[in-house]
Amino acid sequence: MKTYIFITIIFALLAVHITANAQVTAAKEVTAKAEVLAPLKINSATVMDFGRLYSLADGYSVTLVPSGATDSRTSDKPADVPTVTDETIKLAVLEIEGAANNKYVIAPPATSVDLSGSNGSSMTLGDFKAYTTTGNPITAATTIDGTGKSSFKLGATLTLGKTQAAGTYEGTFEVKVTYE
């Protein structure tokens, strides 16, 4: 809304200015052009879910990565992390709304956040990375489609401590998007 107000004022003053000018010199038509973009919005974000992980004597880290359109997780100690099947392993999916065919850049959290457990313990979540919904790393600006929509995935690395206390852990993080 702020954008609209300011732009209206500019136009009004430009118009006045041209008229005044015409009183002393030859009139010249000036074209003023401005493009007003619909504000970028992040419409929804789904929960990033690491699923179930084993508490082990040694600490380890688990990274959520897309493999194609599906999501999976990798560990720095794969032999120690047996497969727990029927898991809900998901990268976060963020849905963007903005001006069709414009580009935006994604700023995942630059610092780590804590996931807090129902048991009072915590784990560190960091190294956030953005991916396309088809699983490719996003390294440049993303183009909003013709209907004004776009979405992307976010993965991250979770670090488990030694014999991490069993329980459910949750935390939040902030993602920013900006028109390029």
Partner 1 sequence: MKTIKFFAIAALFLGFSVNAMAQTNPPVSATASAGARIITPLSIVNTDEQSLEFGNIVASLAGGTVTVAPGATTATYSGVAAPAGLEGTIRSAKFTVTGDGSSTYSVLIAQETALTSGSHTMNLSDFTNNSNKVLEEGTETFEVGATLNVGAEQAAGTYLGSFKVTVAYE
DSSP 136-158: PBP-S-EE--TTSEEEEEEEEEE
110 binds partner 1 (CB under 8 A): no
Residue 95 or 135: the one with the smaller Cβ distance to partner 1 is: 95
Residue 17 or 136: the one with the smaller Cβ distance to partner 1 is: 17
The conformation of residue 78, written as its DSSP 8-state character, comes to G
Q: Which residue from 150, 163, 152 is spatially nearest to 130, judged by alpha carbons?
A: 152
Q: Minimum distance between the CB of residue 119 and partner 1, rounded to whole angstroms?
A: 9
How far is 2 from 37, CA to CA, in rounded Å?
A: 12
CB neighbours of residue 116 within 10 Å = 15
165 binds partner 1 (CB under 8 A): yes
Q: Which residue has the tokens 């993080």?
A: 173
Site for partner 1 (CB under 8 A): which residue of 26, 82, 103, 127?
A: 82
122 binds partner 1 (CB under 8 A): no
Q: Minimum distance between the CB of residue 164 and partner 1, rounded to whole angstroms?
A: 5
The contact mask relative to partner 1 for 25-64 (x = CB under 8 A, - = no) is --------------xxxx--xxxxxxxxxxxx-----x--
